[in-house]
Structure 1
């Protein structure tokens, strides 16, 4: 998936349904002294922990995260739409989906949409079921989104993965790109594993299980480490 934002804000109806959340700073934008100085300090600390990152840090420069949406429901709808699709195809389908509702749909509007209309937008049956499950659980309070900012990372993952079609990878991307959490270590992402292998001149990428403990020395800045792993293989950010 190509570099992109996380959609646009929901309207007031979604807010009343409890499907909006508070802002969090993006990874690398928090801390004293301003964003750029903080990013440079974090990047320097990563190189101190592992000098193997020096080349990619020097080449890629400070971390640059895509803009976030104010609306977690819209972000998750977009994330589901983009799953397992190339960027251009996913953008086209997402655009048609938004066009059905003259903008970002509310959970209620999605639940009222006909299967034929969603199929015509390009959503597969599996993605329709995922998006409708998200809308239903957001509406009935099973998966509230308004208070995610109060939860720790593991609790956010546990809540989001109650939705059909949202697994750990999607939840980790949401934590990084929507909530701005700084210490996410997305070992299920092949780009991160490939980048780690290239940085450390390994013949094969490590498995997720092998990579998991290798991130421990970088706490609490593993999101930034993942970003540099993506950059090392010149991979587009997942969102």
Structure 2
């Protein structure tokens, strides 16, 4: 299905989200692809860096990372150490996660190209074994880099804020409410999630 058809589907299934999508279309706003990088490894690294950080801070650290190691790499070389990454602004924990990730790839114990094509739960079963990678990280990695078009990170604060805005709620929705609302967007919850993040990032709350 084309992107236009997916958008039409979302507008028809959820008019409240739809009016924001129409607004984006009329204003020619683009949806950010900040987590989508040239390789699966870099996409996952960007997602790891982004854990509990603002977009601007995470982007700054990621840019330092690729300035040092390149924008087309599939893993880090085995001689890179935790302290090397910490000098870029990464925490010790995130540095250890990225180095462990590189080790598994270099030893051919992990193939991210295959992993990103797996169903959500199977990908989580593989990647969540790596310390520092949890469900949120896998969901975002798959959402931006994988082939799964139907992912909605129900624990994500941005998703909850986006739903609060479009549904004009007095408080953030519960996970149960997020699941119920997001069911309207199937099978294109990934695209809907990206719109929600953009609504929050661009502070669009006047519709």
Under a length normalisation based on structure 1, what TM-score does the superposition of the two structures give?
A: 0.72
Question: How many residue pairs end up in the alignment?
Answer: 199
Are the equivalent residues in 1 in contact too, given 2:143–2:190 (CA < 8 A)? yes
Are the equivalent residues in 2 in contact too, given 1:56–1:231 (CA < 8 A)? no
Contiguous gaps of at least 5 residues in structure 1: 1-30, 32-37
Q: Distance in 1 between matches of 2:199 and 2:74?
A: 38
Q: Which residue of 2 aligns with 1:190?
A: 157
Q: Which residue of 2 aligns with 1:130?
A: 97
Quick one: which of 16, 22, 27 aligns to 1:52? Answer: 16
Q: Distance in 2 between matches of 1:149 and 1:234?
A: 26
Under a length normalisation based on structure 2, what TM-score does the superposition of the two structures give?
A: 0.81
Q: Distance in 2 between matches of 1:174 and 1:133?
A: 17
Quick check: 1:179 aligned with 2:143? no
Q: What is the root-mean-square deviation in Å for CA atoms of aligned residues?
A: 2.6
Q: Distance in 2 between matches of 1:149 and 1:106?
A: 14
Give structure 1 regions of 4+ aligned residues with deviation exceeding 6 angstroms.
Answer: none
Q: How do 1:12-161 and structure 2 match up within 5 A?
A: 31=1, 38-61=2-25, 64=31, 66=33, 68-101=36-69, 107=75, 109=77, 111-161=78-128
Greater length-normalized contact order (CA 8 Å, ≥ 6 residues apart) = 1
Are the equivalent residues in 1 in contact too, given 2:32–2:198 (CA < 8 A)? no
Q: Distance in 2 between matches of 1:233 and 1:118?
A: 30
Q: Distance in 2 between matches of 1:97 and 1:153?
A: 28
* C-alpha distance 93-231 of structure 1, shift in aligned 2 (>3 A): closer
Residue 133 of structure 1: how far off its partner (Å) = 1.6
